[in-house]
Amino acid sequence: MQNRHLGPFSVTAIGLGCMNLSHAYGVPPPPEQGERVLRAAIEQGVTLFDTAALYGFGKNEELVGRVLKPHRSRITLCSKGGLAGVPDENGVLKRVIDGRPGTIRRNCEDSLRRLQTDVIDLYYLHRWDKKVPVEDSVGAMSRLVEEGKVRTIGLSEVSAATLRRAHAVHPVTAVQNEYSLWTRNPEIAMRAACRELGVALVAFSPVARGFLCDAVPDVSTLEAKDIRRTMPRFDAEHHARNLKLLPAYRELAREAGCTPAQLALAWLLHRGEDVIPIPGTTNVEHLKEDLAAADVRLEVDLIRRLEALVNEKTVSGNRYGEQANREVDTETF
């Protein structure tokens, strides 16, 4: 597979987002299945792996660390802090955004232990804690770099203005924001800011949380704890409207000679060498399908028609519900 630059690292143009091996889309698969996916990614040559303290409240990092430890020198390992599981008065873990310097240090040290490594290649601030100046959080991350616990730093779900503030404290290697045909928010200001500052844009949810795989025909079948149940685009009314986009979308995929998922990923790869998608999957065959998107070439006219079909004006519903929107800092249309 072709490689792209992620700060000082040369990584495969498509990485693996590890979240759904332990988190978010209902009951996670058994660890054995997650191990199979991770090992298959290594066998397929993937060199970029992305996890976080939040995912499975540490279980995802434990899985990634256990399976990838023998391959540590061959991969670029990314994780995130500032958003993690914290026990409540009954000992039940709850997700908490906390960007205080002491918390970021503790999150990082916990991640190093779970990942069974001495250093994290790219360490993101998972969410900007708006009660804490981003400069303070990034300052704490810069000290982790100085101590050799982290090689480079990144930000997640932030605006261009916040990126500039952070970058003034310490060079930011990457911003990880949701980016796909149906979530074009980075094009408001983040794309330009990243190019100006030499920052890579790592695109999570690049296949629109399964929608652009043509894999969510009936939202009533989603598991009770599937996070898509909290997302307006997947409620019955909006989803019914969005499904109307799929027949023409499937036809464009056929014209391009690829699957719907590959079309979504190929479009992102065509956005620029500084864009790196990290799709996630629990299925080895889907992993191979995703990675093959790096070989898909799209004609200019097909890209034009694709962007006219699926964009911020044609997609129905917000990407996040009210609470999640309050927690992020990204620009909105």
The residue type at 65: G
Query: Active site includes 55?
Result: yes
Which residues, other chains included, contact 37 with Cβ-Cβ below 8 Å and sequence gap of 6+? 16, 21, 281, 282, 283, 284, 287
Which residues are registered as beta bridge partners of 226? 25
Length of the chain: 333
Q: Are 263 and 211 in contact (CB under 8 A)?
A: no
Burial of 270 (0-12, 13-18, 19+ CB in 10 A): middle
**Nearest-angstrom CA–CA distance, 58 and 78:** 14
Pairing of strands 83-87, 16-17: unpaired
Strands 3-6 and 9-12: antiparallel
Q: What is the DSSP letter of 225?
A: T
State how far the Cα of 20 lies from the Cα of 103, in Å rounded to an integer: 25
H or E stretch covering 284: helix 284-291
Q: Is 3 helix (H, G, I), strand (E, B) or coil?
A: strand
For residues 38 and 64, the answer to whether their CB atoms sit within 8 Å is yes
Amino acid at 152: T
Residue 291 Cα to chain centre, angstroms: 16
Q: Tokens representing 190?
A: 């983040």
The active-site residue out of 55, 179, 249, 320 is 55
Positions annotated as catalytic residues are 55
